[in-house]
Amino acid sequence: GTNNTALGTDALRLSTTAGENAALGHQAAYSNTTGHSIVAIGYRASYLNSTSVRHIAIGFQANYGGTSTNDMVAVGYRAAYTASATTANKDNSTFIGHSSGEAGSVTTGPRNNVTYVGHESGKQGSHTTGNFSQNVGIGNSALQANSATTGSVYFNTAVGTSAAQWGGLTSGTATANTAIGHQAMQGSSFTGSSDNTAVGYIALQNITSGQKNTALGSGALNDNTSASYNTAVGYVAGGKLNSGQL
C-alpha cells in the first residue's frame, strides 16, 4: 500500500494494498489488508479488521473485532470490542467510553447506526443471533444488555446513568423504547418489551415485560412490571401499579 504510517511492533502487519492509514501501537490494524483511510491507535486497536474503510479506533483493543466497521468511531478502552465475530457489522456507529459497545463472541448481530457514549454504555454479552442496530445510549451503563445471547434490541433511546440497563434480557426483543433519567426503565429482570416511554428519575424502573406505557415524572410507574397501555404523569404517579391498567 501507499501513504501509510505504522509505528509499533507488527502495526499494519498484513497490509497488501491498504493505503492512507495510520496505525500506532503494538499490532494496531494488524489484519488490515486492503482497508484505507483508517486511524488505529493503541494496543491491538482494529486488530481483526481487514477491509473496512474510514474508521477511527483509539484505545486499548478498541474495535478489536468485527467484519465491517466502515465510517465508525471507537474511542476508549475496549470501545466497540468484539472478542470474535462471524457477521457483526458496526457501520456508521459511534462508541465513546470505557467498554462502550463491548461484546463477547458474536455469530450474527449487527450494531449499525448506533451511538453509545459513556462507561459501558451499550455493552452486551456474547450472542448468536439478533439485531442490535439503530440505538442511542448516553450515560454510564445506558442501554446495556450484558446477558443477551439471542433476540433483538433496536430503535431504542436511553439517556442517563443506568437508563435501560437491561441485565435480565437474555433472548427477548426490545424495540422503540425511550428512557430518559437516572435508572429510568432500568429493568434488572427485564425480559423484553416495546413502545414504552419513561422520563424521570427511576420512572418505569422495574419493568419486565409491560408494553406501550408512558411514565412522566420521578418514580412514575416505578413498580410496574408487566402492565401495559398505561399513562402516568407526575411524581410517583401510578407508582404502585404492577399489573393491569390504571
Collapsing DSSP to helix, strand or coil, 174 comes out as strand
Paired residues of 17 in beta bridges: none
Query: What are the b/e assignments for 205-232, b being 16+ CB within 10 Å?
Result: bbbbbbbebbbbbbbbbbbbbebbebbb
Tens of pLDDT, residue by residue over 43-69, are 999 999 889 999 999 999 999 987 789
Prediction pTM value: 0.94
End-to-end CA distance of the chain: 66
Q: Please report where in the chains the cell 435508572 appears, as a residue.
A: 183
Confidence of residue 246 (pLDDT cuts 50, 70, 90): low
Q: Which of 116, 113, 67 is nearest to 87 (CA)?
A: 67
User: What pLDDT, on a 0 to 100 scale, did the predictor assign at position 109?
Assistant: 76
- 11 to 40, 83, 149, 229, 241: CA distances (angstroms): 9, 19, 33, 55, 57
188: amino acid identity, one letter: S
Q: Which of 91, 51, 89, 95 is nearest to 73 (CA)?
A: 95
